[in-house]
């Protein structure tokens, strides 16, 4: 890589996995993010009202303009991998590289290209598990970027990382399901364009199999009994108007046709929703880290920021920080791309260990990289004059979202320790041979 290169990164050893078409598209994604999305960030934030009364009532207009541009440029629904005929037919590895670039402008770019969470995961739910009517009503406008959606699973007062703890009740009454429960951290539910909630709850709380108790039903925005209580803040940010909302569902009634897949199949659906989505999160996080490192490079070489006669980047410890960041980013990227390729080769279940490792590695890595950049910027690195504090904060949530590091680490360990039996057999066989050799030779 030439030292003046600033475009998308395809690691040399990965390149054989990337088609020329994907490379071309990747470059287009880069250009769009670089020249349209990042420059639009300031305006995006400017268009969010600071008036509490209006803050959640409209969405920055710039997003719609970017969506139009992206559609025209063919940069739309790129996340729909080979399995879906509606998409551009990229592999998970190919799209992962694009997700990285989108992550560089995380508030703007993914949505501009209709590749933003939670919609991507929700669209997968509709595509994989929805019936034709559900697809027509919700998947089509989602894929067109006409509406947005939310996935209402996590609840207050319980440990949601163990989904069997979920308490929301979905009770059938005649041709309706009646939903009662409290949900929080429902991302995107603050958005005035959010028209559909995909709600998880228990239809059969007494089922002896704890993975058969849950079901998923569709609740249109505005259904009576749905109440948005408040936005949850992350480290002082409310992420308006997207938002991560606390919601209550009080005797909310929807027709039984709003059930997805079948009663008791909620677990199956959330499992199917996770794999590629985790890859997307990881790659966006890598994009965040790359952007933070670029901002750091800028500060390090800023001739107006000398301390004690040296530019910041001339200090040895800061250089060590740069090197560490480069190594950590590059290492993490391989781990994610390898997991993506495992999904391409087999499926998400076969890539459980690899996805888990990527999920653990990326957020912590990016937090360290951003922190070093922030430290180089001093006070400026922690305030509204750089994107760094916002980047840091959003990455921080990924250390617990969708399962805390600790849970995933235990899972990786468990999978690794399954090898123990075969390993021990091999070592014992080696020891037998070793003893035999020693005995033979001792005789001579």
Of 24, 233, 257, 347, the one binding its own copies (CB under 8 A) is 233
Of 166, 179, 286, 361, the one binding its own copies (CB under 8 A) is 361
Q: Which stretch binds its own copies (CB under 8 A): 67-75, 76-84, 189-197, 323-331?
A: 323-331
323 interacts with its own copies by CB under 8 A: yes
H/E element, 178: strand 176-187
Q: Note whether 278 and 359 are within 8 A (CB).
A: yes
HSE (CB half, 13 Å, CA atoms) of 8? 28
Total length of the chain: 444
Sites for its own copies among residues 401-440 (CB under 8 A): 401, 404-407, 409-410, 412-424, 426-427, 430-431, 433-438
Of 131, 330, 347, 349, the one binding its own copies (CB under 8 A) is 330
306 interacts with its own copies by CB under 8 A: yes
Sites for its own copies among residues 53-112 (CB under 8 A): 62, 93
d(CA 65, CA 400): 34
- Smallest CA-to-CA distance from 353 within 371, 368, 338 is with 338
3-state secondary structure of 196: strand
d(CA 282, CA 298): 25
Q: Quick one: tokens of 286?
A: 């890598």
Of 357, 362, 373, 395, the one binding its own copies (CB under 8 A) is 357
Sites for its own copies among residues 126-185 (CB under 8 A): 154, 157-162, 165, 184-185
19 interacts with its own copies by CB under 8 A: no
399 interacts with its own copies by CB under 8 A: yes
Sites for its own copies among residues 200-229 (CB under 8 A): none
- Please confirm whether the linkage preceding 118 is cis (ω < 30° from 0): yes
Of 73, 178, 205, 382, the one binding its own copies (CB under 8 A) is 382
Nearer to its own copies by C-beta: 207 or 338?
A: 338
Of 52, 206, 222, 224, the one binding its own copies (CB under 8 A) is 52
Sites for its own copies among residues 331-350 (CB under 8 A): 331-332, 334-335, 337-338, 341-342, 345
For the bound state, the minimum distance from the C-beta of residue 301 to its own copies, rounded and expressed in Å, comes to 4
Q: Note whether 220 and 187 are within 8 A (CB).
A: no
20 interacts with its own copies by CB under 8 A: no
DSSP conformation class of 258: G
- For β-strands 194-202 and 148-152, DSSP reports them as parallel
Give the count of beta carbons closer than 10 Å to the beta carbon of residue 290.
Answer: 24
42 interacts with its own copies by CB under 8 A: yes
Of 4, 20, 174, 208, the one binding its own copies (CB under 8 A) is 4
d(CA 392, CA 388): 6
Nearer to its own copies by C-beta: 217 or 391?
A: 391
Q: Note whether 366 and 395 are within 8 A (CB).
A: yes
């Amino acid at each position: 890589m030439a030292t003046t290169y600033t475009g998308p990164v395809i690691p040399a050893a990965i390149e054989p996995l990337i088609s020329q078409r994907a490379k071309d598209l990747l470059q287009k994604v880069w250009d769009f993010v670089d020249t349209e999305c990042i420059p639009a960030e300031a305006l995006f934030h400017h268009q969010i009202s600071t008036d509490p009364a209006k803050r959640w009532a409209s969405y920055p207009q710039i997003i719609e303009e970017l969506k139009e541009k992206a559609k025209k440029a063919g940069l739309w629904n790129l996340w729909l991998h080979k399995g879906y005929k509606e998409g551009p037919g990229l592999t998970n590895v190919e799209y992962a590289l694009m997700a990285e670039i989108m992550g560089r402008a995380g508030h703007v770019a993914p949505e501009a290209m209709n590749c933003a969470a939670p919609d991507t995961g929700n669209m997968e739910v509709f595509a994989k598990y929805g019936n034709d009517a559900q697809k027509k009503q919700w998947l089509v406008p989602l894929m067109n970027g006409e509406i947005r959606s939310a996935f209402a699973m996590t609840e207050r007062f319980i440990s949601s990382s163990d989904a069997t703890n979920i308490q929301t009740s979905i009770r059938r009454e005649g041709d309706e399901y009646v939903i009662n429960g409290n949900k929080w951290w429902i991302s995107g539910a603050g958005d005035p364009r959010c028209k559909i909630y995909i709600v998880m709850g228990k239809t059969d709380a007494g089922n002896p199999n704890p993975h058969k108790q849950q079901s998923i039903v569709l609740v249109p925005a505005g259904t009576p009994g749905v109440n948005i209580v408040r936005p949850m803040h992350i480290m002082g940010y409310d992420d308006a108007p997207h938002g991560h909302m606390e919601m209550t569902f009080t005797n909310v009634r929807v027709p039984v046709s709003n059930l997805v897949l079948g009663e008791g199949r909620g677990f199956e659906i959330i499992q199917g929703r996770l794999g590629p989505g985790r890859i997307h999160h990881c790659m966006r996080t890598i994009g965040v880290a790359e952007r933070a490192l670029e901002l750091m490079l800028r500060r390090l070489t800023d001739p107006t920021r000398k301390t004690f006669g040296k530019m910041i980047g001339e200090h040895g410890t800061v250089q060590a920080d740069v090197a560490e960041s480069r190594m950590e980013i590059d290492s993490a990227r391989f781990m994610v791309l390898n997991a993506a390729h495992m999904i391409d080769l087999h499926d998400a279940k076969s890539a459980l260990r690899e996805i888990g490792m990527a999920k653990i590695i990326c957020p912590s890595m990016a937090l360290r990289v951003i922190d070093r950049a922030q430290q180089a910027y001093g006070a400026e690195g922690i305030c509204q004059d750089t994107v760094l504090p916002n980047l840091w904060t959003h990455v921080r949530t990924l250390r617990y979202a969708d399962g805390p590091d600790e849970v995933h680490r235990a899972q990786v360990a468990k999978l690794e320790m399954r090898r123990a039996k075969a390993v021990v057999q091999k070592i014992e066989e080696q020891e037998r041979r070793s003893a035999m050799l020693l005995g033979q030779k001792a005789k001579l």
